[in-house]
Amino acid sequence: MEIRLEKLDSSQLKTKPDENNLGFGRYFADHMFVMTFDRDRGWHDAVIRKYQDFSLPPAAMVLHYGQAIFEGLKAYRGKDNAIYLFRPTDNLRRMNVSAERMCMPAIPVDEVLAALQTLLRLDADWIPAAPGATLYIRPTMIATEEGLGVRPAGRYTFFIINSPVGAYYPEGFNPVKIFVTDKYVRAVPGGVGHVKTAGNYAASIMAAVEAQKQGFTQVLWLDAIERRYIEEVGTMNIFFLINNELITPPLSGSILPGITRDSVLRLTRDWGLTVTERKITIDEVLTAIENGSLQEIFGTGTAAVISPVGELHYKGRDCCINQGRTGAIAQRLFNEIQAIQNGYQEDPYGWAIKL
């Protein structure tokens, strides 16, 4: 696939935002990667060009039937000012799992990775150097065919946009308060919970808003059938350390196979911990809190890396975890994964890709 490069002149570049006040998803780098798919030509018209608006017909199928998938990964400015990506091929492969489930075309993973690397070299000045700040990368695919009727669209746009984001923990690595909902569910077996499609997030907003109104950071979802088995948090997978056993729910088809989750499983097994992917109920967690055997709870995801949980709220009860403090395993994982992501620690897994 040939990629056209429409590079902006230096006079057309945007003024960069203050690296110490980036927040999340508020600013976008100068260039984007775009390519188009149709049935006759496959993927074509690949171009790196100015970050700019799309023009879409009102009948574009994504606006009606929601064929929209995305990914989230980061570029890090690490050791010796070099730029690193963390397991980018895994994100692009996961995107193809999403594409298949949503009857959308697969992307050519190696070529898209090469395009991303070209884009990052071009917009390298957008990868922040402030401590903890990164460039968040958002590959996305939408159905653009003009037409009504529920069926797979015949035309798609794939694009990658990049957004410099601030440190997730500007004031230090602080435990969060989580609301366990038994009122709403996120995903059902046989549904689309295991893929990153936009509708999953739209459907989750109401529960998140209600939880935030009550002072909680995120929602912990239970399974949709019995509302007992723990699934995952809004944008994170979840781990429990009980009696020195590290437990996380299995990839049963209704949770996202997180890349951070996979990295945590690999690292902790290599450290010699007892690590189990198994079903775990909210009652088992509450009992473990009551009898003192629950040592830590933490979430895992690209945005936060590791997010210690200091409090769980369930059915009107507040339960304090590890006296509201970050546990030793969460801290060690956070330090080690960040060190690998930024090239400061030897990476026997081949996860960090230097640009």
Ligand X SMILES: Cc1ncc(COP(=O)(O)O)c(C=O)c1O
* Residues lying near ligand X in the complex (CB under 6 A): 72, 232, 235-237, 256, 258-261, 300-302
CB of 300 to ligand X, least distance (A): 6
CB of 187 to ligand X, least distance (A): 9
| Single-letter amino acid code for the residue at 264 | V
Token pair 């729910």 in the structure block, residue: 249
Rg (CA), the chain: 21
Q: By C-beta, is 87 or 313 nearer to ligand X?
A: 87
What burial letters (b/e) apply to 16-48, b meaning 16+ CB within 10 Å? eeeeeebeeeebbbbbbbbbbbbeeeebeebbb
Q: By C-beta, is 59 or 188 nearer to ligand X?
A: 188
Q: By C-beta, is 98 or 260 nearer to ligand X?
A: 260
CB of 45 to ligand X, least distance (A): 28
CB of 232 to ligand X, least distance (A): 5
CB 140 within 8 A of CB 161: yes
Using CA atoms of 189, 192, 196, 199 in order, give the dihedral in degrees to the nearest 10: -120
Spatial CA neighbour of 264 closest among 162, 337, 197, 317: 337
Roughly what angle, to the nearest 10 degrees, separates helices 259-270 and 88-101?
130
Roughly what angle, to the nearest 10 degrees, separates helices 88-101 and 109-122?
130
Q: By C-beta, is 48 or 233 nearer to ligand X?
A: 233
CB of 142 to ligand X, least distance (A): 18
Spatial CA neighbour of 259 closest among 298, 221, 193, 303: 303
Determine which helix (DSSP H) or strand (DSSP E) holds 62, and give its type and residue range: helix 62-65
Q: By C-beta, is 295 or 307 nearer to ligand X?
A: 307
CB of 114 to ligand X, least distance (A): 21
Q: By C-beta, is 48 or 304 nearer to ligand X?
A: 304
